[in-house]
Amino acid sequence: MLIRAKVNGEWREADVWPGSNLLYVLREEMELPGSKNACEQGECGSCSVWLDGELVCSCLVLAAQAQGREVRTVEGLAGTDQLHPVQRAFVEAGAVQCGFCTPGLIVAVTDLLERDPAPSEPVVREALSGNLCRCTGYVKILDAVWLAAERMREGAS
38 binds other proteins (CB under 8 A): no
Burial 7-29 (b: 16+ CB within 10 A, else e): bbeeebebebeeebbbbbbbbeb
101/132 Cα distance (integer angstroms): 7
110 binds other proteins (CB under 8 A): no
DSSP 92: H
What DSSP line would sit under 51-89, residue for residue?
A: ETTEEEEGGGSBGGGGTT-EEE-GGGTS-SSS--HHHHH
117 binds other proteins (CB under 8 A): no
Q: Which is nearer to other proteins, 101 or 127 (CB)?
A: 127
Only one of the segments 5-13, 17-25, 94-102, 141-149 lies at the binding site for other proteins (rule: CB under 8 A); that segment is: 17-25
118 binds other proteins (CB under 8 A): no
15 binds other proteins (CB under 8 A): no
Residues interacting with other proteins, by CB under 8 A?
1, 17-19, 21, 40-43, 45, 48, 54-57, 59-62, 64-65, 67, 108, 111, 126-127, 129-131
